[in-house]
Structure 1
Amino acid sequence: MSERSPNNVPESRFEIICQHGSARLGRLFTAHGVFETPIFMPVGTNANVKLMRSDELKKIGAGIILSNAYHVAVRPGLEVIELHGGLHEFMAWSGGILTDSGGFQLFSLKEFRKISDDGVLFVSPYDGSKLFLTPEMSMEIQKVLGSDIVMVLDHCLPIESSYKEALDAMRRTHEWAKRCLKHGVKEQQMLFAIAQGGAFEDLRKASAQFLSQLAFDGFAIGGLSLGEPFEKTLQLTHVTVSELPWEKPRYFMGGGSPKTIIELVTLGVDMFDSVYPTRLARHGGALTSLGRLNIKSARYKKDLSPIDERCDCLVCQNYTRAYIHHLLNRGEALAGMLLTHHNLYYMFKFMEFVRKSIKEGKVEEMRKEVVKTYEERRGNCVDPSTFDVDMSCRRC
């Protein structure tokens, strides 16, 4: 037993059970449970997965959820989290938690931040208060939160950035990663590095090689699924993954559609997160065995079918498409709740099938089926013009 793992967490935090091609079936050991990979993590940026209670998430199969260290540190503030004893207690969640460091906010809050090699000065879009976030502070924040998986502070930049900009961001990401590693995390926490490099293969490769030499518990592919062509996503992921340690978990940040996940699983990725299923639900979209459905469409006004005939979730067992269409038409919050419940249940079942396909050596057959299903149904999404490479709505 490792001294770093007092709560029955083995020295090796990740084990690969079997592999088919590059796809891996594994187990991830955390202080709040052992989780099979590939795994999908729903996003709870503000310490909640929108429209879902923690007990509901547990019942439908959630294992690890994602929260955001920067947003939670700003509101409600670390002192409130400390009063509860950590993020798990604050949100009444007994499963795993991965916290993003604040690096993505360098991209998403570009009008409210100033970057230097020392760190990032954020001006809160809520109340104008200032926070100078350094790699060391990010580690301290995530220690207080008590998350199971801690992400290093990285410099995430737009995919269309120049080579010089990407090189500079990669250099800064590497320096910050070393500072995070030196500062350290709690004994029970895992620390993941994030490979960057923009849209450039040589930088992606160099970033993965550099970080692989350092003693991180896992590695993430960052700065993708930001609007680049899907084939570019696959190409850059492949280049990155090929340089990462085989024995460590690999996490693609921000990828969450069934098509994206199955394609990246075949490249050797183990972990995924995205707002895609929950955001789609709030806009009337459902994930089904037939592809995406827009329940707002008038065609469902008198449809007595469940969302998905093949689904056994609580929603599909009790409610019709017509009823949910009515709720959406009247702007009722229950519509989003029901669709969110269904979409997340669908994603967790989907991941079960992914893991089974790897175990049985049928992952390529599943990949072809999923790609066919979701490409053929693309015209029936909520609004095809607003969906990016990962089919997440750019307008939201």
Structure 2
Amino acid sequence: MAALQFQLQHTAQDSKARAGKITTDHGEILTPIFMPVGTVGSVKAVTQPQLKSEINAQIILGNTYHLYLRPGIEVLEAAGGLHAFNGWDRPILTDSGGYQVFSLAENRKLTEEGALFQSHIDGSRHLFTAENVMDIQRSIGADIIMAFDECPPYPSEYAYAKKSMELTHRWLDRCFKRLSETPGKYGYTQNLFPIVQGSTYKDLRVASSQYVASKEATGNAIGGLSVGEPEEMMYEFTALCCENLPWLKPRYLMGVGTPWNILECIDRGIDMFDCVMPTRNGRNGMLFTTKGVINIKNKKWATDFSPIDDALPAETSQYYSKAYLRHLFVASEILGLQLASIQNLSFYLWLVQQAREHIMAGDFNSWKKSSVEIFRTRL
């Protein structure tokens, strides 16, 4: 058992981009990294062997809110934790559920104690506190666990954003206290990442970043962005937070985003990303490829027998044609959802690997500028 370690291996000469290595008890993660989202213990439409062999995922996410409701903590503990339950033997990160509670705005009540909410499944009422969210994540057994926070909506009035940030900080203190008082359950180290909040106010973001940094955690996260604000504002506040977070600790930007969002935020100093976009958009027929964005349902692909994306190493991307994948979507065949999800996740993992290689090679910024233009192109 050892606390998470972060080794900064290379910094870009022409930007704030970095390449590093995170070491956990379940293995190493080369950064920058994208983490596929497995909300309820499953990355939608993709098997764990496919995540390893085709997509090359190094770490996946689970969600505290959803796993708490289903299958429930008793089942997860009986299984020996999420790793044993879903058969994933590489690192796992769990979101604290704060964002899901935020999204239930009409069915939740925030107090100093925590968040009282109604289940989206059966309407039952539950209370999340800083303490029991730590207990739940202990039981789930992720390698990286997130502090319980409030994610204010965009836009937020200054007074509300400040009050929300201060509540998040008080909850953070309670998270650290609870974790220090409770032992791990499965024989490996769990690492708590605090979350920076503060909406779109510079002084609040600086204050929150500095407060989070003072906790000297093994890594830090930035929340409350990519919630409706303009892209340029997201980039501005990402850069501001990075400037005020420790240089030698990994930085995780939560819930971001498109391929170009990821490249721009790597440029500003982010190491870790997650987003449901590759699988969600894939299931709706939008493909991210090395040549641009494809709506595979369009008739123009009906007789295109070229590979989905022959520049990707994933077997799926090279084996199946665009015409066949379009046929699957038109015929409402389940296989289409799987192939599109694998394509998009493979692309995202390829993207961050390419970013890493160009950081190491010293030409990240020029590569990023040309790549963003390509990846945004609608084919």
TM-score, length of structure 2 as denominator length:
0.95
2:92 to 97, 114, 119: 97
Q: 2:123 aligns to what?
A: 128
Q: 1:215: how far off?
A: 2.8
Q: 1:316: how far off?
A: 2.7
Q: 1:276 aligns to what?
A: 277
- 1:41 pairs with 2:42: no
Provide the secondary structure at the position in 1 that maps to 2:71: helix
Q: 1:219: how far off?
A: 0.9
Q: 2:175 aligns to what?
A: 180
- Sequence identity (%): 42
- 1:318 pairs with 2:327: no
Q: State the alpha-carbon separation in 2 of the partners of residues 17 and 323 from structure 1.
A: 42
Residues 166-205 of structure 1 aligned to structure 2 (within 5 Å): 166-184=161-179, 186=184, 188-205=189-206
Q: 2:338 aligns to what?
A: 337
* Larger relative contact order (CA 8 Å, sep ≥ 6): 2
The code of the aligned residue for 2:364 comes to V
2:141 to 143, 146, 151: 146
Q: 1:309: how far off?
A: 3.1
Structure 2 residues without counterparts, runs of 5 or longer: none
Q: 1:237: how far off?
A: 0.7
- 1:158 pairs with 2:153: yes
Q: 1:12: how far off?
A: 6.1
Q: State the alpha-carbon separation in 1 of the partners of residues 257 and 58 from structure 2.
A: 15
- The answer to whether the Cα contact below 8 Å between 1:255 and 1:272 also exists between their aligned partners in 2 is yes
Q: State the alpha-carbon separation in 1 of the partners of residues 258 and 264 from structure 2.
A: 10
**Which region of structure 1 is more displaced relative to structure 2, 172-181 or 107-116?**
107-116
Provide the secondary structure at the position in 1 that maps to 2:268: coil
The code of the aligned residue for 2:8 comes to I
2:8 to 16, 30, 44: 16
The code of the aligned residue for 1:15 comes to Q
- 1:207 pairs with 2:208: yes
Residues 213-228 of structure 1 aligned to structure 2 (within 5 Å): 213-228=214-229
Alignment deviations for residues 192-219 of structure 1 (CA, whole Å, 9 cap, x no partner): 0000001111111110011111131111
- The answer to whether the Cα contact below 8 Å between 1:258 and 1:370 also exists between their aligned partners in 2 is no
- The answer to whether the Cα contact below 8 Å between 1:181 and 1:216 also exists between their aligned partners in 2 is no
- The answer to whether the Cα contact below 8 Å between 1:41 and 1:274 also exists between their aligned partners in 2 is yes
Q: State the alpha-carbon separation in 2 of the partners of residues 69 and 303 from structure 1.
A: 42
Residues 337-356 of structure 1 aligned to structure 2 (within 5 Å): 337-356=338-357
Q: 1:106: how far off?
A: 2.7
Q: 1:391 aligns to what?
A: none
Superposition CA RMSD, Å: 1.2
Q: 1:29 aligns to what?
A: 23
- The answer to whether the Cα contact below 8 Å between 1:40 and 1:256 also exists between their aligned partners in 2 is no
The code of the aligned residue for 1:30 comes to T
Residues 349-364 of structure 1 aligned to structure 2 (within 5 Å): 349-364=350-365
Q: 1:299 aligns to what?
A: 300
Provide the secondary structure at the position in 2 that maps to 1:99: strand
Q: State the alpha-carbon separation in 2 of the partners of residues 264 and 62 from structure 1.
A: 20
Q: State the alpha-carbon separation in 2 of the partners of residues 328 and 188 from structure 1.
A: 43
Q: State the alpha-carbon separation in 1 of the partners of residues 349 and 21 from structure 2.
A: 16
The code of the aligned residue for 2:7 comes to E
Q: State the alpha-carbon separation in 2 of the partners of residues 317 and 266 from structure 1.
A: 30
TM-score, length of structure 1 as denominator length:
0.91
Q: 1:365 aligns to what?
A: 366
Count of equivalent residues: 370
Q: State the alpha-carbon separation in 1 of the partners of residues 161 and 34 from structure 2.
A: 28
Alignment deviations for residues 244-284 of structure 1 (CA, whole Å, 9 cap, x no partner): 01111100001132101111111110000001111111011
- The answer to whether the Cα contact below 8 Å between 1:69 and 1:102 also exists between their aligned partners in 2 is yes
Q: State the alpha-carbon separation in 2 of the partners of residues 12 and 317 from structure 1.
A: 36
- The answer to whether the Cα contact below 8 Å between 2:4 and 2:191 also exists between their aligned partners in 1 is no
Flag as ranges the 4+ runs of structure 1 deviating above 6 A. Answer: none
Q: State the alpha-carbon separation in 2 of the partners of residues 156 and 150 from structure 1.
A: 17
- The answer to whether the Cα contact below 8 Å between 2:312 and 2:350 also exists between their aligned partners in 1 is no
- The answer to whether the Cα contact below 8 Å between 1:249 and 1:270 also exists between their aligned partners in 2 is yes
2:108 to 89, 110, 113: 113
Residues 224-235 of structure 1 aligned to structure 2 (within 5 Å): 224-235=225-236
